[in-house]
Amino acid sequence: MTTGQPRRATTLPTGTVTFLFTDIEGSTRLVQDLGDQYGNLLADHCRILRDAIERADGIELGTEGDSFFAVFPSAVDAVAASAAAQRELAGHGWPGDAEVRVRMGLHTGEGTLGGDNYIGLDVHRAARIANAAHGGQVVLSDATRSLAESSLPPGVALRTLGAHRLKDLANSERLFQLDIAGLSIEFPALRTLDARPNNLPVQLTSFIGREAEIAAVGELLELARLVTLTGPGGTGKTRLALQVAAERLSRYADGAFVVELAPISDPALVLSAIAGAIGVREAANRPLAETLKESIHDRELLLVLDNFEQILGAASRITDLLTGAPRLRVLVTSRAVLHVHGEHELPVPPLRIPDPAHLPRLEALSQFEGVALFLERAMAARPDFAVTPQSAPAIAEIVARLDGLPLAIELAAAKAKLLGAEAILGRLGSRLAFLGGGARDLPARQQTLRQAIDWSYGLLTPPEQAFARRLGVFVGGWTVEAADSIGEPAELGLDAFEALAALVDQSLVRREEVEHGEPRFLMLETIREFSLERLDAAGETADLRRRHARHFVELAEQAEPDLTRDPEAINRVGHDHDNYRAVLSWAIETEEAELGLRLGFALWRFWHQRAYLNEGRQWFERLLAVPGAEVRTAARARGVTGAAGIAYWRNDYAAAEAWYAEAESIYRELGDRVGLADALYNAGTVAAIRGDMPAVFEKLGEGAAIGRELGDDAIVERFMVADGYMAFMTDDLERARSLLEQGLELTERRGDRMAIATGNHTVAQVARLQGRLDDAANHYLRSLTGLHELGDVASLTEPLQGLAAVAVATGRAELGVRLLGANAAIRERVGGGPPPEWLRLGDPLADARAMLDEATYARAWERGLAMTADEAVADAMAMTPAEAPTS
């Protein structure tokens, strides 16, 4: 509904201008409450706003329903108009004594014209600022504030609201509020992406159009709990889903999370992907589905499951989650319907495009979403790109030829960096004619998208084309180094970085920043599929997959020793987890048992540290069943060692001991003394869990002798520490203290962060049993800090429990119970933990129960169970050594 006609100046101002967006908060409720009287209310609202805009020399650009869009040559005038309008709206007598609250957003930026309207990022920024506001509130960008603050109207002041991440804008924006005397100045938190928990990715380009689709998806999510956005590749399903999630984030108390499913081809991994996205850890000896349902049962969440089409077999798992979590909403993007009960499908249409045979006036051309998208992306590639009477027909033809597919339009618009609209159309037209005989069983839009991508490939040089198709072998992204190693650009006469830059310029590859280290690159999944097709056609797939596998096996083996030393090494492995999964699948498919087992061993510590214990177990079960994996080689010994490590942390000690024994046997056969020393250490320490101390000391003694024989100080030191801990286990505390303190000193010299953390824990254990509680607390805290910095959640439960025991022993029973409750919750989420037999804690919970009344004890335990690992560490850090006096 549009009320009244906007008053337009003959010429819209350009250069630096200030944009104003407004709309009525709760207009749907007002319509329902007032019925026929709403028309009078809307007319009065429009008159008040229109008069305020006109008095301040603003120009009304359009109204839609209760929304206004206006522009001002002056930021000072825009602020004055907003304040005046809010005062008049607040003082007006509305029908039925209704309360009309209008939110307003102001931003100053570049006034770039596209026809008779403004386009560009600054328009979108103003709109997003308005969307973040509440009824009765005027929110300004920092740019508007800087120009207007020295000339504010009487009775108006500025209040800083801090930096906020706005929907679909890449950078945080410092925002301010107009405090208008006599009006309310207290409002809820802004409706920005900071308002609720989320992992919604930063969008580097603005979202164009789709207002009707956003509203339709929003309405469906109110009615249904499972909504599937369908359509062929390139229709913008993912971007629409992310925008809906951003727009509706404030409606979900526990946030909105996107789960990237494109790298996954095994339906069994879907729940792991969901758990990882929302921070749910796998639990020991318990199906992940149960753990996940219990975790989200009472949470009000929106999950965006992106690219579901290749794992349709997992659809029943999603309905099962919905059954167990009544406040969960799921928004799926897929090229195919899931066909499950309760699903509501919404086909995503192309962007609106003009009919080239019946073009509208030049001024109205940018009102079509497809044209607006092309213009904005073309201007990003070349700032002086403009629509003219000469270029308008060509632009309309381009978006029509591309059927309004967003990805195809963006690919075409990127060529504006080199070509004008007419030249783009000419290249596109000839390419379409050339590919006119494509497969008839493909959807028409998919054919068009393939043609658009192929045309982009055609603009590359032959060496760049070869490099681009080779990059399709990566899953989930890559680094420059990986592209250089696997894509081998040098043999094509290319430099890896320059070639990647060329592909980024052509919109075939995207660059993404990581928090630390070099940037990573990735392909949209549709383009990756296209690249893989070209790779198959070139007969290069088998060679590239083998190269990919060898590269990532070597990369994992290089990283493996650092996984206990360097958090960044763990993060690097995490970034490429999908590539590693792809290599493991390839090794199983091609029966490359040796490579697969080598990779499994290199990754097992990562799976332990990042709580992928169940996934790690599944990979080892499959790898050890590959034909050839049974051969008693060094790779087999490493594989069973990794499988044993996973079993140990899952508390399956029988399996761990059997696999460690097999590794010991193989290394003896091979004459591998270093490998044998490692196997003896592992077999000996696991034997200690079942109390077979003669076997323990026999194996540890042999291992230490090997270390001395080889002259390897690290091996000797490792067995000295193990000997010290066995002394602790057998109550020889003075000997344990001497060996463990000596071991810690040597470890600190080497700088192995996990060994240092473990050493501090073992020294603390002895100090606790000796009653030196201040010393124990000090070492436990050092251990806890080190493991937390490494991100090793499973291992930090050891010092966490030690601190809990010290807390109880020194009279801080509530803290001890909280920490033990947190430990129980962490073990459940992780899926395992250290053997209780190692800790010798006694029963601090019973001691605490004797010190506390039942209600206090129960309250502390429940608080602990609700803690995250980070919260538990912070709580434990409150226990300084000074507060843990010696007894």
Model confidence pLDDT, tens digit, residues 608-617: 988 888 899 9
CA–CA gap between residue 545 and residue 557 (Å, rounded): 18
Q: Are 330 and 226 in contact (CB under 8 A)?
A: yes
Q: What is the pLDDT of residue 509?
A: 85
Contact present, 409 and 196 (Cβ < 8 Å): no
Per the prediction, the chain carries an average pLDDT of: 87
Question: Which structure tokens are listed for 805?
Answer: 């025991």
Mean pLDDT score, 165-186 = 83
Summarised one tens digit per residue, pLDDT across range 547-592 is 999 999 999 999 999 988 888 888 899 999 999 999 999 999 999 9
Interval 619-660: pLDDT, tens: 999 999 999 999 999 999 999 999 999 999 988 999 999 999
Q: What does the alpha-carbon distance between residue 411 and residue 447 come to, in Å, rounded to a whole number?
A: 15
pLDDT tens by residue, 527-549: 888 899 899 999 999 999 999 99
- Give the confidence band of 435 by pLDDT, cuts at 50, 70, 90: very low
Q: Is 216 helix (H, G, I), strand (E, B) or coil?
A: helix
Residue 311: strand, helix, or coil:
helix
User: Mean pLDDT across the stretch 318-335?
Assistant: 93
Per-residue confidence at 449, pLDDT binned at 50, 70, 90?
Answer: low
Q: How sure is the predictor about 886, in pLDDT bands with cuts at 50, 70 and 90? A: very low
Residue 240 is predicted with a pLDDT of: 93
Model confidence at 884: pLDDT above 60: no
Question: Sorting pLDDT into bands at 50, 70 and 90, what band is 769?
Answer: very high
Which tokens go with 304?
A: 């965006």
Out of 53-67, 226-240, 503-517, 583-597, the most confident range is 583-597
User: How does pLDDT run across 805-855, given as a tens digit for each residue?
Assistant: 999 999 999 999 999 999 999 888 877 888 887 888 889 999 999 999 999
DSSP 478: B
Rg (CA), the chain: 32
pLDDT higher than 60, residue 436:
no
pLDDT band at 4 (very low <50, low <70, confident <90, very high): very low
Q: Where do we find the tokens 């930096």?
A: 163
Q: What angle do CA 174, 512, 481 make, to 5 degrees?
A: 145
Nearest to 449 by CA among 417, 421, 409: 409
Does pLDDT of 450 surpass 60? yes
Q: Which two tokens stand for residue 873?
A: 């560490």
Residue 2 has pLDDT above 80, yes or no: no
pLDDT band at 446 (very low <50, low <70, confident <90, very high): very low
**What letter would DSSP give residue 268?**
G
DSSP for 792-844 reads: -HHHHHHHHHHHHHHHHHTT-HHHHHHHHHHHHHHHHHHT--S-GGGT----H
pLDDT, residue 881, reads 53
**What is the phi/psi pair of residue 570, to 5°?**
-65, -45
Among all chains, which residue has been given the structure tokens 């010092």? 799
Tens digit of pLDDT for each residue in 790-806? 888 888 999 999 999 99
Q: Are strands 226-230 and 328-334 parallel, antiparallel or unpaired?
A: parallel
Q: How big is the CA angle at 443 (ends 441 and 444), to the nearest 5 degrees?
A: 115
CA–CA gap between residue 112 and residue 323 (Å, rounded) = 50
Q: How far apart are CA 174 and CA 172, in angstroms?
A: 7
Amino acid 443: pLDDT: 36
Q: Which residue has the higher pLDDT, 438 or 574?
A: 574
Burial class (CB in 10 A: 0-12, 13-18, 19+), 179: middle
Predicted pLDDT of residue 777 = 94
Please count the other Cβ atoms lying within 10 Å of the Cβ belonging to residue 201: 11
Q: What is the pLDDT of residue 171?
A: 65
Q: Which residues pair with 20 in a beta bridge?
A: 70, 106
In this prediction, residue 27 carries a pLDDT of 86
CB contact at 8 A, 6 and 61: yes
Indicate the pLDDT class of residue 516, thresholds 50, 70 and 90: low
Q: Above 60 in pLDDT, residue 206?
A: yes
Share of the chain above pLDDT 90, in %: 54
Over the stretch 82-125, which tens digit does the pLDDT of each residue have? 999 999 999 999 988 888 999 999 999 988 887 677 887 888 88
Q: Label residue 330 by pLDDT band (50, 70, 90).
A: very high
Phi, psi of 17 (to 5 degrees): -135, 170
Would strands 343-347 and 226-230 be described as parallel, antiparallel, or unpaired?
Answer: parallel
Q: Distance between CA atoms of 452 and 433, rounded to whole angstroms?
A: 12
Instruction: Give the H/E segment covering residue 158.
Output: strand 156-164
Summarize the confidence of residues 677-700 as an average pLDDT: 90
- Residue-wise pLDDT for 271-284, tens only, equals 999 998 998 887 77
Q: What's the start-to-end Cα distance of the chain, in Å? A: 78
Does the predicted TM-score (pTM) go above 0.75?
Answer: no
Rounded CA-CA distance 832/282 in Å is 9
Tell me what the mean pLDDT of segment 213-242 comes to. 89
CA 203 to CA 731: how far, in whole Å?
Answer: 59
